[in-house]
Homo-oligomer: A and B are copies of this chain.
């Protein structure tokens, strides 16, 4: 099953709106997400239904099929790998990558994606901390938890931030925390919830509970 660029974009939107293929999605929601008119969406849903990537019952919204989920995850995989490339290799900022990745994700070449993945050292998360599905569409999305929820002696890796304001990112950069950093909780003060964190097995970092609550990590 091959999809056009437009179909791929719609399918991706439906996948996102359906919260990873669980709930069903309305025509209006898709129109809002895609910034098109409901009439255009109806048309596209019929097409995607014919291709059996969604289950479409007129007037009752759509559910993504297993096949559709697989295709959507492939597109998401490509998008996120390109984001990693743009940030790590071409020095793009977090907020500059989305639009370009939106174009790059539609390049058709399995070899290209395979090689890119390898070149980037098989990253598991994109620069925003979102997980990158593997080539079979599996997302090994280990549950993310805020740093303040971790216990003393637990180790993990920073994968995202809740607050992505310039001020907060600047602060993180200054203290040497970053997406991908390996961390370990050295101490947790019961009184105010502030924490002592070991970063990359060398730097020690003190942070308030407020800061810790805005940093997301996976346990390892």
A residues in contact (CB < 8 Å) with B: 86, 89-92, 96, 99-100, 103-104, 107-109, 111-112, 115-116, 119
Contacts and interface: CB of A to CB of B under 8 A. Distances in A.
B115 A90 contact: yes
Contacts of A116: 90
A108 B102 CA distance: 11
B90 A100 contact: no
Number of copies: 2
A166 B122 CA distance: 32
A115 B103 contact: no
A115 B91 contact: yes
Contact of A107 (B103, B111, B115): B103
A114 to B, nearest CB: 9
B89 A111 contact: no
A92 B119 CA distance: 12
Nearest to A100: B109
Contacts of A103: 107-109
B104 A90 contact: no
Given A90-B116, A103-B109, 17 more contacts: A86-B112, A89-B119, A90-B112, A90-B115, A90-B119, A91-B115, A92-B111, A92-B115, A96-B111, A99-B109, A100-B107, A100-B109, A100-B111, A103-B107, A103-B108, A104-B104, A104-B107
